[in-house]
Amino acid sequence: MSIRAHLPKVADAVVVGGGIIGCSTAYYLALAGLDVVVCEKGWVGCEQSSRNWGLIRKQGRHPAEIPLTIHSLELWHELATKVDRDIGFRVNGTLYLSDTEKRYDANRKWLEHAQAFDLDTAMLGMEELRTVAPGIRNQARDALFTPSDASADPHLAMQALAELVMQEGGQILEQCAVRGVDIEAGRVAGVITEHGRIRAPAVVCAGGAWSGYFCRPLGIQLPQLKVISSVMLSQPTDHVLGPALWSQGMGLRRRPDGSYIVAPAGNADCPITPDFLRFARSYLPTYRDSKETVKLQFTRRFLTELSWPVAPSHRHRSPFECERVLDPKPNHSLIERVRRRLGDTFPDLADIQVSRIWAGMIDVMPDELPVIDECHSLPGLVISTGYSGHGFGIGPGAGQVTADLVLGQGNSSSLISGLRLGRLG
Ligand SMILES: Cc1cc2nc3c(=O)[nH]c(=O)nc-3n(C[C@H](O)[C@H](O)[C@H](O)COP(=O)(O)OP(=O)(O)OC[C@H]3O[C@@H](n4cnc5c(N)ncnc54)[C@H](O)[C@@H]3O)c2cc1C
């Protein structure tokens, strides 16, 4: 999609980042009548938001996020009817196999959260499992199932969302990196982009994996890291699996055209970066749980990020322009492993043909929860980032509550009480 516009001199709000969080925020701000501008250094959805698996799930979410995920799913239903085309939105459920002791216990524990929030989640015995997942080989003791969970096509959804922003009067500027926040008298006065200044009393940082670096010169420390997640898309097949499925080391989702998104769920590569060294301590508890599946990598990324200036100059080309799109290399051995696992789980899919393989850089926080908050040390700045691998599903809800913060409306504060900046110490 090519979205071109002239740089406006003033706006009511500028959103930094044209991913699902930035575009959803802009949509709800534009709906509220604000003159909103999204600045995106690459193009809409070019990083995580168009590379994800497309799951919109409540299942497995941290209790602090469940109210927002419930709300977000309602908004997905609304958005799917608002747009004039199919964005692949389907309510098909999420299924977690209890195929290891750890997952068996985790599934039981999560069922308690589901009951507390009155969700439609249930444990399925083997017979019921074979009905919802025909052709599955008996490997699991049982499975956790939330039928009301959904999915959508990330590419189509992002395009449609960007069009909704523009229909409501918002502007989206692609190839427009924001180098920094303009501050006057101790509060936000706008942004400095690579093409010039935009004056605005409110700025939203929705920069995904770049948010930590973006916020640092403002004196805000976000202990954010990045992990690389690899994905495979198959050719269409006749095999029909309704719900999205998670098992030990595999995530699977059937798309409306019959192709499958197949991914090494939970397995990721973590590049060692200067931030990794800076924040390692905060990640120790999470790392202890995932050290079998998250592999540390020493790559050129360390030197690249080491060469970044502490604060990007407002006058010169910044790292945001030098790397318009984070485009990590996929891990082919993980993909090969997950293909074998797919064949073990669904023998009918053992010879599935690969259509495409890609990877995305996921931004994570130590507690795997996002930060959605106003910044009290810099009035006018709102931060909405750190979605830790599940920001697509929660995106519309997160965008709406972020917009509420900009608008100074407290009506969604109960949805984000566990997601404030202050919890990070
Ligand atoms: C492989 C993979 C699978 C995933 N699967 C799922 C899933 O099934 N379900 C789910 O809910 N989530 C999933 N996720 C996570 C989800 O995609 C992300 O949490 C979500 O897209 C984050 O959205 P965002 O808008 O915060 O970030 P992004 O989509 O990364 O967008 C941030 C944007 O900000 C721009 N930007 C940054 N700095 C600047 C600047 N200074 N100036 C201008 N622009 C800037 C970037 O170019 C980028 O486009 C997955 C992610 C990956 C990578």
Rounded to a whole number of angstroms, the distance between the first and last alpha carbons of the chain is: 40
Atom from ligand 1 closest to the CA of residue 388? 19
Q: Is 160 in the pocket of ligand 1 (CB under 6 A)?
A: no
Q: Whose CA is nearest to atom 33 of ligand 1?
A: 17
The single residue listed with the structure tokens 């984070």 is 326
Mean pLDDT in runs of 10 for the chain (425 residues)? 69 98 98 98 98 97 97 98 94 96 95 97 95 88 96 98 98 97 98 97 98 97 96 95 94 97 93 94 84 89 96 93 97 96 94 97 96 96 97 98 94 88 88
Interhelix angle 391-407/66-82, nearest 10 degrees: 90
Q: Which of 214, 317, 392 should be mutated for ligand 1, with most atoms under 8 A from CB? A: 392
What's the gap in Å between 244 CA and the centre of ligand 1? Answer: 21
Alpha-carbon 127 to chain mean position: 34
DSSP E strand stretches across 81-224: 90-91, 94-97, 122-124, 143-146, 150-151, 171-173, 178-184, 187-193, 196-199, 202-205
What's the gap in Å between 226 CA and the centre of ligand 1? Answer: 11
Q: Which pair of structure tokens corresponds to residue 413?
A: 């504060």
Q: Whose CA is nearest to atom 52 of ligand 1?
A: 52
What's the gap in Å between 208 CA and the centre of ligand 1? Answer: 5
Q: Is 17 in the pocket of ligand 1 (CB under 6 A)?
A: yes
Q: Is 52 in the pocket of ligand 1 (CB under 6 A)?
A: yes
Q: Which of 14, 49, 191 should be mutated for ligand 1, with most atoms under 8 A from CB? A: 49
| 220/377 Cα distance (integer angstroms) | 8
Q: What is the 3-state secondary structure (H, E, C) of 270-288?
A: EECCHHHHHHHHHHHHHHH
| 333/306 Cα distance (integer angstroms) | 28
Residues 196 and 182: beta-carbon distance below 8 Å: no
Q: Which of 52, 68, 213, 331 should be mutated for ligand 1, with most atoms under 8 A from CB? A: 52
Q: Is 397 in the pocket of ligand 1 (CB under 6 A)?
A: no
Q: Is 385 in the pocket of ligand 1 (CB under 6 A)?
A: yes
Q: Is 48 in the pocket of ligand 1 (CB under 6 A)?
A: yes
DSSP designation for 10? B
Q: Which pair of structure tokens corresponds to residue 323?
A: 């790397």
Atom from ligand 1 closest to the CA of residue 362? 53
Q: Is 182 in the pocket of ligand 1 (CB under 6 A)?
A: no
Q: Which of 43, 48, 224 should be mutated for ligand 1, with most atoms under 8 A from CB? A: 48
DSSP class per residue in 359-395: EEEEEE-TTS--EEEE-TTSTTEEEEE--TT-HHHHH
Which pLDDT score, from 0 to 100, does residue 381 have?
98
Atom from ligand 1 closest to the CA of residue 384? 26
What's the gap in Å between 350 CA and the centre of ligand 1? Answer: 31
What's the gap in Å between 386 CA and the centre of ligand 1? Answer: 9
> Which residue ranges form the domains of the chain, and what is each CATH number?
13-424 (3.50.50.60)
Which pLDDT score, from 0 to 100, does residue 292 have?
79
Q: Whose CA is nearest to atom 2 of ligand 1?
A: 52
Which pLDDT score, from 0 to 100, does residue 248 have?
86
